[in-house]
Amino acid sequence: MTAATPPPYRKPVEGPGAASRVNMEQWDALVDSSIERATATAEKWRTGLAAFVTVVTSVLLLKGPDAQKIALPWNLAVVIPLVAGAGLMILGLWRALEASAPSLTTVDYTSVVATYGTVRAYLVAAATAVTAQVDKAKFWVAWALVAFAFGIVAWWLVPIKEDAPKPLMTVTDHRGIVVACGTFVESKNNTITLRPRGTDTTVTAVLRDVSAIAVADKCGESSDGG
């Protein structure tokens, strides 16, 4: 059995039309500018991520101490996602930085032509690598947003530590009578002010009429704050 003879080459009846030539010219311009467009996109991502990382880290530094109010072990459900989100965001920023300033693997003409065929193909490959780095940055940023969302929702839902009740204090006059009992409010102008527990009112005693101030477990019935 003999191999089939390929059909003879046929010259096109006419050359490409004006629209085809315009399309090819536009395609050439698009390819030639691919590296500039890719790096411009990467620079925008780098700038935006840098601003976002600055805001996130500032918020974490300011609001971080509030996490101490969350009861154990629930605070781990808040702290771990937020810290992980910040780390992923920084990783995405690093990828965007690499994409905005791509490093040339070689500057040897012979190696470039041997590997890519033409300098133009090399620039297209470099633009493709920049785009891949931007895609990686987007990937890590997406997961960072997921981690932040989880941490924020957890912060809303986890139980908060209840502040320990302030100790009760009793104020006794020179007759040995407890004239005030409650939590400490302030002391100024030779007076001491207490707030009886469970009320919004305050009781003020003049220090010159006071013989003793002590911490009490509870207020007795005979006190004005009881």
Average pLDDT for 172-191: 81
- Is the confidence at residue 221, as pLDDT, over 50? no
- Is the confidence at residue 225, as pLDDT, over 60? no
What pLDDT does 67 receive? 67
What pLDDT does 104 receive? 60
Instruction: Give residue-wise pLDDT tens across range 73-107.
Output: 777 888 888 888 888 888 888 888 877 776 665 56
- Is the confidence at residue 226, as pLDDT, over 50? no
What pLDDT does 222 receive? 41
Comparing 6-20, 35-49, 130-144, the range with the smallest average pLDDT is: 6-20
Instruction: Give residue-wise pLDDT tens across range 50-64.
Output: 887 888 777 777 666
Question: What is the torsional sign of CA 69, 70, 76, 77?
Answer: negative
- Is the confidence at residue 1, as pLDDT, over 70? no
- Is the confidence at residue 20, as pLDDT, over 80? no
Pairing of strands 203-206, 191-195: antiparallel
The contacts of residue 64 (CB under 8 Å, 6+ apart) are none
- Is the confidence at residue 224, as pLDDT, over 50? no
What pLDDT does 64 receive? 66
